[in-house]
Chains A and B, each alone.
Chain A
Amino acid sequence: MSQLLSWNRLPQCSPDKIYTLTEHAIPGLAHAPHPLLAYGNGRSYGDVCLNDRGTLLHTCALDRFISFDRTSGVLRCESGVTLQSILQLVVPHGWFLASTPGTQYATIGGALANDVHGKNHHAHGSFGNHVRAFELIRSTGEVLLCRPDQNAEMFRATIAGLGLTGLLSWVEIQLMPVNNPWMWVEAQRFSNLEHFWQLNKEAEQHWPYTVAWIDCLASGNSQGRGILFTGKHAANQTHLPSYKARSKRVPFDPPISLVNRLSLRSFNALYYRQPLKPQGSLCHYAPYFYPLDAIQDWNRIYGHKGFYQYQCVLPPEVASEATAQLLDAIAQSGQGSFLAVLKTFGTQESVGLLSFARPGTTLALDFPNLGNKTLQLFHRLDAIVSEAGGALYPAKDARMPASLFQSGFPNWERFSDFIDPAFSSHFWRRVTL
């Protein structure tokens, strides 16, 4: 049996058994010891998709489409279908995912269970806002059809339910119309955080997609300098460039992480100074939404020790102050990230009881695993997030203390009532100690 890990390869723990699902059913106890947990494609950065006991129910073979209405853009498919397969099917017919994370290798079941968000959150909300229905299979033998107005409570518990409410067999979503596979994108540099807030506010009025990369090692006057990327689906033009997907692969695990202080500093300095096209340009949707997917197995650059992602959301009132504090702490520690991403969430209410996306600002960073040193930095960051009344994203977490989870997700106890008695995860056992 091959091993199933999460994307950041932390924590490393194996279930007693991996069971590849072929039916819309939960296998019997003899084949699949409890506790159970569904595993999509392991694109989470942590243990929401891991189970150090019992069975992981792998959904990779539940990869069939069920129906696609080309006129209304309603798609129903099995839970293990990847976002990539969906796009390959629907884009030629003029449809697109209304909300997508930064990887198309996530499955639709995984996207629902984490209620993932994309660069258009301020305009369209998160993934769960576009879910019309799904089927949930419970270990008790119940099969529940859930919609916003049918089994409504279970609907809200399962979206962002971290796979704990049972097994999703299929999901139905509403797609969004587009003219073609292309995006119109613009990029602007900002010289510090203050500048960011100002540019971003304006950009959000005009652009459905906005996201900023920041140089998390810059300090002083240029603290928070970076680039704001804005985009929208291209107009219905007739002259479109040609596009050929290219993919590279990281062929082996380097003995030590290739991400270190030196490589980070040079990367960030160069990245900030990259030539931009302020007048805008067309970009195919794949490199626009999924730039990291072009390098297969890129997580290997961090070596066998793996890495952490730290993603928090900060309430609007304190966002600017707390962001500055977080960047201060990171710059001081000298540990930093290639991928420091800043984005503001909109006010559309998330569906899930445990949804992460909420009004405010989200900051996401990758850190190589330097052991204690990294954990100590997180300790300081936790204190800032907690003080600000913020929360960490379970999909990107391998270590948050139970107290921070519980304060960030005040519905967690209410949610517990909906957990399937046979389901659990490494994450859930950790944060509900």
Chain B
Amino acid sequence: MNSLNRVVIFGVTSAIAEQTARQLVQNGASIYCIGRNPDKLNRILADLKVRAGSDQTIAGVSADLTDTHQHLALIEQANEALGGLDAALIAHGTLPDQKACEADVTLTLQEIETNALSVVSLLSLLANQFEAQGKGVIAAISSVAGDRGRQSNYVYGAAKGMVSLFMQGLRNRLASKGVSVVTIKPGFVDSPMTASFDKSGPLWAKPEMVAKGIVNAMQKGKGEVYLPWFWYIVMQIIKHIPEAIFKRLSL
């Protein structure tokens, strides 16, 4: 079991990350929260402080995570506030408008910057610290969309695919160093990111359910987790459709 007493969360204003933070706080953790929207961040900090015991630290700062030059300083601030780190969760992301991306390369690159490059930057810096300390958990929220490119959202899929692959390598590098690298692959989650979707189907999960899976995977130091679990089966099937057939499907 990994200890999750001091956790830094990047993109804490995400619905999934906020629920994860609540569960960690309930388990007694101290949390350093980084979010872009200062108003939302402050509301989350106030809430977590009410939920936390007097011996837990709840602190944070607002930052746009595409500004990678700040990353090292943010990680240092988190270490300072919590007196070291047991775990990190990277949760920020955007769901690009695929059609708009097709018409605008700049937008495509921006989306890749937010969903992949900024994550790679954080992962790299955290990896070096955790490798040196010889323990800890590095988790990031990727997506089932990163398992195979589809016409309806391959910009997002490619970015998430990069995160998954990067983490796979990192996991391989750090496995012998006592560091767990946990790739979270949610399916459809009912969060603000998917506000405009029809959510009547049975495939939709609530952020609090996904959060439970994240905490569990981080504790146990799992490698890749699909949330909810049935997405593992769905994606096995999707991944194994031969490309010659797949390219003709309207997915």
> Using a CB–CB distance below 8 Å, which chain A residues touch chain B?
1-3, 20, 22-23, 61, 64-68, 78, 89
Asked if residues A65 and B199 are in contact (CB atoms below 8 Å), the reply is no
Bound form: Cα–Cα A298–B15 in Å: 29
Q: Which of B44, B50, B199 contacts A2 (CB 8 A)?
A: B199
Known A-B contacts: A64-B44, A65-B47, A65-B50. Give 14 more (CB < 8 A): A1-B200, A2-B199, A2-B200, A20-B192, A20-B195, A23-B40, A61-B15, A64-B43, A64-B46, A64-B47, A65-B46, A65-B51, A66-B47, A89-B50
Bound form: Cα–Cα A52–B230 in Å: 37
Using Cβ atoms and an 8 Å threshold, which residues of chain A touch B40?
22-23
B104 in the interface, Cβ–Cβ < 8 Å? no
A-B contact pairs, 5 of them (CB 8 A): A22-B40, A22-B192, A23-B39, A67-B50, A68-B50
B55 in the interface, Cβ–Cβ < 8 Å? no
Closest to A62 in B: B43
Asked if residues B46 and A67 are in contact (CB atoms below 8 Å), the reply is yes
Q: How far is the CB of A109 from chain B (nearest CB, A)?
A: 16
Bound form: Cα–Cα A313–B170 in Å: 68
The residue in B39, B44, B50, B198 that gathers the most chain A C-beta atoms within 10 A of its C-beta is B50
Q: Type the 1/0 row for B15-56, where 1 means its CB is closer than 8 Å to any CB of A.
A: 100000000000000000000000110011011001100000
Using Cβ atoms and an 8 Å threshold, which residues of chain A touch B46?
64-67
Closest to A20 in B: B195
Closest to B26 in A: A88
- For chain B, what secondary structure do more than half of its interface residues adopt (helix, strand, loop), or is it mixed? helix
Query: Could you say which interface size class chain B belongs to?
Result: 10 to 19
Q: How far is the CB of A432 from chain B (nearest CB, A)?
A: 33
Bound form: Cα–Cα A361–B46 in Å: 42
Chain B residues 117 to 135 lying within 8 A of chain A, measured CB to CB, are none
Bound form: Cα–Cα A374–B15 in Å: 44
Q: How far is the CB of B11 from chain A (nearest CB, A)?
A: 15
Closest to B196 in A: A1
Q: How far is the CB of B86 from chain A (nearest CB, A)?
A: 25
Using Cβ atoms and an 8 Å threshold, which residues of chain B touch A65?
46-47, 50-51
Bound form: Cα–Cα A2–B44 in Å: 27
Chain B residues 171 to 210 lying within 8 A of chain A, measured CB to CB, are 192, 195, 198-200
Using Cβ atoms and an 8 Å threshold, which residues of chain B touch A61?
15, 192
- Give 6 closest A-B pairs by Cβ, nearest first: A64-B47, A65-B50, A65-B47, A68-B50, A2-B200, A66-B46
Q: How far is the CB of A367 from chain B (nearest CB, A)?
A: 30
Closest to A85 in B: B51
Using Cβ atoms and an 8 Å threshold, which residues of chain A touch B198?
1
Closest to B200 in A: A2
Q: How far is the CB of A28 from chain B (nearest CB, A)?
A: 14
Using Cβ atoms and an 8 Å threshold, which residues of chain B touch A2?
199-200
Bound form: Cα–Cα A78–B46 in Å: 11
Bound form: Cα–Cα A369–B195 in Å: 35
Bound form: Cα–Cα A155–B13 in Å: 32
Bound form: Cα–Cα A89–B25 in Å: 13
Closest to A68 in B: B50
Q: How far is the CB of B200 from chain A (nearest CB, A)?
A: 5
Q: How far is the CB of B58 from chain A (nearest CB, A)?
A: 12
Closest to B47 in A: A64
Using Cβ atoms and an 8 Å threshold, which residues of chain B touch A78?
43
Using Cβ atoms and an 8 Å threshold, which residues of chain A touch B43?
64, 66, 78
Q: How far is the CB of A11 from chain B (nearest CB, A)?
A: 21
